Amino acid sequence: MPLSPPAQPGQSLAEIETPALVLDLDAFERNLVAMAAFTQAHGVRLRPHAKTHKSPEIALRQIAHGAIGQCCQKVSEAEVLVAGGVGDVLVTNEIASPTKLDRLAQLARSARIGLCVDHAEGVREAAEAAARNDVVLDVYVEIDVGGRRCGIAPGEGAVRLAEAIARSNTLRFAGLQAYHGAAQHMRSIDERREAIERAGYAVRNTAERLAHAGLNCEIVSGAGTGTHELETQSGLWNEIQAGSYIFMDADYARNRQADGTPFRSFEHALFVLAGVMSKPVPDRAIVDAGHKAAAVDSGMPIPFRREGVVYTKPSDEHGVLTGDPIALPHRGDRLLLVPSHCDPTVNLHDWYVCMRGLHGPDAHVEAVWPVAGRGALT
């Protein structure tokens, strides 16, 4: 028994069952246009990250605006994207499982498919899976550019992996995966600039060694919403993997504000619509959106255009609003929350309730899109 969507096309904001994930289509479309303009003006490819949205509906709109395909973190996400009509998917991750590699290789019969490696065993296993399934896979060597997560150290070790890939009949060496995850959420522009400068040294060093070894490093892929201008300016990356720009969460917005450049390019387009279920005392209102409706790993969601109201103390299914008693909403009221971190928030919901004119008097539901890849973990 699948759960029913919280809204139907044509309904007003007041008719949506809460809590619900609400997409402001107008702001979303402006974000699509802004990133397309940026990447086209700078001559870099855009391969947006689908771990943010998990939706072929959104992926196809990004591609219609010039994106060359999608990237994602999981084989199951790639399955959802290819089933939804995406023709070029890169899994920006290591896959240490023959059964997952088989599933990925099967996708390569109908789409261009890439993955990352940071270990010789990964090359061998990917080559075997591609051979078993009679396909060719694009393989990127992931180098650790400072994030201290996956990735081989920059330099000769990376060249050895690229050579092993190039020797395989079933793999194609496609380039470098050079994503600095930790830099995305550094608060000041100076910290982010320094981190991406260091990442650039690692990329340059490795790329030069690859060239010296006679290997064609066609693509250097990486960069997120938090740093993509820096990678682009460096001239070293030629493919951008930003994901959050379509939605803009509260944490990225805080960085933009710290930079003194609030919302230069992107607007909040994603919200959790919450309802007030109880207001037991004048200075406390309880909403029906807690941990299970808005992720709190990067801080609390922010009440949107509710000056003086603070969301605090979430539990599984409750959030506590405190602050100025005059500003606090009443029992039965609704309000929009800006998620602190979009990606895990989207993953809690089954549906995007897509609105036109969200902040105006004629706000209405235009469409309801499934979060088709929600829970795609394997």
Among 8, 110, 233, 278, binds its own copies (CB under 8 A): 278
By C-beta, is 231 or 288 nearer to its own copies?
Answer: 288
Q: How far apart are CA 147 and CA 152, in angstroms?
A: 11
- Residue 332 interacts with its own copies (CB under 8 A)? yes
Q: Is 156 in the site for its own copies (CB under 8 A)?
A: no
Tokens of 190: 């100076």
Both tokens assigned to 331? 């029992």
Cis peptide before 9 (omega within 30 of 0): no
Q: Are 85 and 105 in contact (CB under 8 A)?
A: no
Stretch that binds its own copies, among 130-138, 210-218, 290-298, 303-311 (CB under 8 A): 290-298
Token pair listed for 233: 């300016």
The answer to whether residues 183 and 146 touch, using CB atoms and an 8 Å cutoff, is yes
Residues from 195 through 254 that contact its own copies (CB under 8 A): none
Listed ranges 69-77, 170-178, 256-264, 355-363: which one lies at the site for its own copies (CB under 8 A)? 69-77
The span of 23-31, 161-169, 280-288, 354-362 binding its own copies (CB under 8 A) equals 280-288
Q: Does 85 bind its own copies (CB under 8 A)?
A: no
Specify burial of residue 26 (Cβ count, 10 A radius: 0-12, 13-18, 19+): middle
Q: Which is nearer to its own copies, 69 or 373 (CB)?
A: 373
- 126 close to 169: Cβ distance less than 8 angstroms: no
Question: Does residue 321 belong to the site contacting its own copies (CB under 8 A)?
Answer: no
Q: Is the peptide bond before 19 cis (omega within 30 degrees of 0)?
A: yes
Q: Is 320 helix (H, G, I), strand (E, B) or coil?
A: strand
List residues binding its own copies (CB under 8 A).
1, 3, 6, 17-20, 51, 73-74, 76, 80, 83, 93-97, 99-100, 118-119, 121, 144, 148-153, 181, 275-281, 284, 286, 288-289, 291-293, 295-297, 313-318, 320, 331-332, 343-344, 347-350, 372, 374-378
